[in-house]
Amino acid sequence: MSGARYHRKGEAPRASAAMSRQLDLLIAEPETSLIGLRVKLDRPVDRGKPCRRNICVIGPAKGPHAGVLNCIDCGAHRGWMRKSTAAWLEDVMVRFGLPTEPIVIRDATYPETAPLGADAA
């Protein structure tokens, strides 16, 4: 036989350590408390190619993401939420409570810059 393990009658076969690790990868992470929250997108791509009002609702996560961002007006996919952004939003909500208007999300890789000549006095 091909390495099959026999067990006593009525006893379930034991999973190997490797199989246990594989099963751990399949277990979904708990859903975030952010599902249904509305956010306003203000990233360079949202300024260049806006979708209606650029307000999205956070949906359930898939794969390595913390959530999906879908336009509240047309349902279009607008992007994926990073886990670090989700952690920041959850921290904001713990400190200040549920927002009364959409929180603005910007892309940290493109810092805001002052208009040319603004620092010349």
Q: What is the mean pLDDT of residues 18-37?
A: 65
Cβ-proximal residues to 85 (8 Å cutoff; 6+ apart), any chain: 66, 105
For residue 56, being part of any structural domain is answered with: yes
Asked if the structure places residue 61 within a domain, the reply is yes
Summarised one tens digit per residue, pLDDT across range 91-121 is: 999 999 999 999 999 886 655 555 555 555 4
In a domain, 97, yes or no: yes
Count structural domains, the chain: 1
Q: Is the pLDDT of residue 85 over 80?
A: yes
Least confident of 25-29, 35-39, 75-79, 100-104: 25-29
Is 9 inside a domain boundary?
A: no
In a domain? residue 71: yes
Its domain, for residue 60, covers 38-105
pTM confidence score:
0.63
